[in-house]
Amino acid sequence: MSSATAPSSAPAEPFLTLAGIRKSYPGVVALSGFSMSVKPGEVIGLVGENGAGKSTLMKVLGGVVAPDAGTIVIDGVERTALTVGDSMKAGIAFVHQELNLFDNLDVAANVYIGREPRTGGVLQLVDTDRQRQMVEPLLRRLGAGFKASTPVAALSLAQRQMVEIAKALSMNARLVILDEPTSSLPLSETAKLLDVVAGLKADGIAVIFISHRLHEIEQAADRVIVLRDGKLAGTLDKAEIEHDRMVKLMIGRDLKAQFSTPGQNAGAVAMKVIGVRTGTYPDQAASLELRSGEILGIAGLVGSGRTELARAMFGVDPIYGGSFEVAGSAFSPRHTSEAVSRGLFLVPEDRKGAGLLLDLPISQNISLPDLAKYARSFMVSGALEGKTAETQRRNLGIKAPQVTTRAATLSGGNQQKVVLAKWLAMSPRVMVFDEPTRGIDVGAKAEIYKLMRGLADAGVAVMMISSDMEEVIGVSDRIAVMHEGRISGTLNRDQFSEENVLQLAVGKPLQLEGVAP
């Protein structure tokens, strides 16, 4: 990649202009009177709450959906709608949040999937060598540290995104749209991705960067477009881009209550982790203490062993040394049921795969961990289940028509509340949250934070694993940082800063007084 620093002077002429775009679905106006333009080499941050119309806009640009009104001008040619073919020919490329890559193929094969170069002759075999030769220069241009022949299965998430971007480049993209590219990236990889974005910009390729992580938008974007309720809520130029201003435009008001005030009442130690070794880092031992009434944030890079520690605490994975202590008594769960019976609950990272049974109604999801309680002479009482679920629905504000609604039909935030509800219907002593707000919109995030604080205030020990720096710093009472299977340091509130967390996350000790090793 040539240079990520040179400030590209974007030519004044936009190559893509949308004007007065309107799209309505039965009962819902998804976009109305929306206009924007994209200049070559411009990085546009696109923000908005879930349901603000971002995905409809993407579909219009991708040619999947035809707008009801408005015009789309590409290179001076005016159209009322794009087809998928038009969009591709115009050089608009998408990198979706859920990557569409084949794990079992190598990088080159993924880049040229469906367009494989052939050897010719009768057999028309795939010309693997030529395919790799064509992909190598693209990877060099992106500064990717892997080869065209590397299997995708061996790549990290950020590297996989580079494969997608390489794919876009191979199709001569002029506009790359990144949909939530950093939501599941660790900090170090996020920086790398932002470099790649800067490189694209330097090459005169425009980028639309959709993210809920406003700090990254602040860093990367030349201009920010805010969508609210299908309308353009505002545009911020480089100098105006600021976290609070974006939030204000997104939700139409100030949101100071997003992070709740810290709790004052950290009590006795509720859970101890004593030199625990997990299967991923058997040579490292993690130790920490969790007090009732506090929220302990667990920061660290993705792959630092945080999820593994949570899984071990909950009895999903075995431990290879050390021990746990809950309420003063030693405890080494061999199965999740043992953790559950002690009031140690986990809200897992994979909400849809591990947190919920998507095909079951809300009520049956809530009753599942404590089903025997809902049984009368061995038979499960639907009425009892419904009653509990109704109470939880009111308390947590789960937005669903009925408690018999299938969990699959709920939004991410409401699904997360159902996962919470199933534990709250029992009596938690220790609650572990693994990435509790990933993929959840701003409004619902604030509600989840409030619920976590409410639990802590009620004397529950709360542990929150999060890769979102704002969240860790904003929500936690203390932060423990993990690095390759051990706790590299613990920060008290007066030591909170992104720099400190980052330094511990990469394994460097802090030169601060009062920091536990």
Partner 1 sequence: MNKKDLGLLILIVVVGAIVTAINPRFLLPINIANTANLVGMFGISALGEAFVIITGGIELSVGSMIALVGVLFVDFLANQNIPWPIAVALMLVLGVFIGLFHGVLVTRLKMQPFVVTLCGLLFYRGIARFYTQDSTAGFAFGQSFPDLEFITAGRSWGVPNSFIAMVILAVIMWVVLHRSVFGRYLYAVGKNEEAARYSGIKTGVVIVAAYVICQVLTVVSAIYFAMYTRSISPGSHGNFYELYAIAAAVLGGFSLRGGEGSIIGALLGVVLLQELQNLVNLLGIPSSLNFAVMGGVILLGVLIDQQWGLFRERRRIVEAARNGAATQAPAE
Give the residues lining the site for partner 1 (CB under 8 A): 25-30, 32, 51, 53, 229-230, 314, 316, 335-337, 339-341, 346, 348, 350, 353-360, 364, 368-369, 371-372, 375, 378-380, 422
Torsion sign over Cα 303, 305, 309, 312: positive
Residue 473 Cβ vs partner 1, minimum distance, rounded to whole Å? 28
Nearer to partner 1, 341 or 402 (CB): 341
CB within 8 Å of 239: residues ≥ 6 apart? none
Q: How far is it, in rounded angstroms, from Cα 220 to Cα 216?
A: 6
The nearest distance, CB 379 to partner 1, in angstroms, is 4
- Closest CB 355 distance from partner 1, rounded Å: 7
28 vs 84, beta carbon nearer partner 1: 28
Q: What is the three-class DSSP state of 364?
A: helix
Calpha distance 156→377 (Å, rounded): 51
Percent of the chain as helix, strand, coil, to the nearest 5: 35, 25, 40
Give the DSSP H or E segment for 238: none
Task: Quote the least distance from Cβ 68 to partner 1, whole Å.
Answer: 13
List beta partners, residue 208.
44, 177
In the complex, the smallest distance separating the C-beta of residue 371 from partner 1, rounded to whole angstroms, is: 5
From 228, 271, 351, 298, select the one nearest 487 (Cα to Cα). Answer: 298
Buried b or exposed e, range 4-43, using 16+ CB within 10 angstroms: eeeebebeeebbbbbeebebeeeeebbbbebebebbbbbb
Kindly state the helix (H) or strand (E) to which residue 470 belongs, with its residue range: helix 469-475
Eight-state DSSP code of residue 338: H
CB of 147 to partner 1, least distance (A): 34
* Site of tokens 């947590």: 396
Structure tokens at 343: 């009031």
Output 292 or 365, the one with its CB closest to partner 1: 365
Q: How far is the CB of 337 from partner 1 (least distance, A)?
A: 5
- 121: number of Cβ within 10 Å: 7
Q: Which is nearer to partner 1, 180 or 434 (CB)?
A: 434
Nearest CB to partner 1, comparing residues 49 and 216: 49
Kindly report the number of other CB atoms within 10 A of residue 512's CB atom.
13
Least Å distance, CB 198 to partner 1, is 34
Rounded distance, CA 321 to CA 323, Å? Answer: 7
Matching residue, tokens 């880049």: 111
173 versus 340: smaller Cβ distance to partner 1: 340
What is the smallest separation between the CB atom of 419 and partner 1, expressed in angstroms? 9
| Cβ nearer to partner 1, comparing 334 with 493 | 334
**Bridge pairing between strands 379-380 and 269-276:** unpaired
- Closer residue to partner 1 in complex, CB, 269/368: 368
| Residue with Cβ nearer partner 1 (174 or 351) | 351
- Minimum CB separation from partner 1 for residue 356, in Å? 6
Of residues 125 and 375, the one with the C-beta less far from partner 1: 375
Give the shortest CB-287-to-partner 1 separation in angstroms: 25
Q: Give the three-state DSSP class for 32.
A: strand
Nearer to partner 1, 434 or 468 (CB): 434
Task: Kindly compute the dihedral angle of the four CA atoms of residues 87, 92, 94, 95, in this order, to the nearest 10 degrees.
Answer: 160
Residue 481 DSSP SS3: strand
Q: The tokens of 477 are what?
A: 């009472």
Q: Using the structure block, give the residue that is written with the tokens 């004397």.
A: 459
* Contact between 85 and 143 (Cβ < 8 Å): no
Question: What SS3 class is residue 273?
Answer: strand
Decide whether 432 or 491 has the Cβ nearer to partner 1: 432
Q: Which is nearer to partner 1, 154 or 375 (CB)?
A: 375
Q: Tokens representing 25? A: 């679905």
**Alpha helix positions (H), 346-381:** 362-367
Which of these, 441, 436, 439, lies nearest to 49 by C-alpha position?
441
Instruction: State the minimum distance, in angstroms, from the CB of residue 346 to partner 1.
Output: 7
Name the minimum Å distance from CB 329 to partner 1: 19
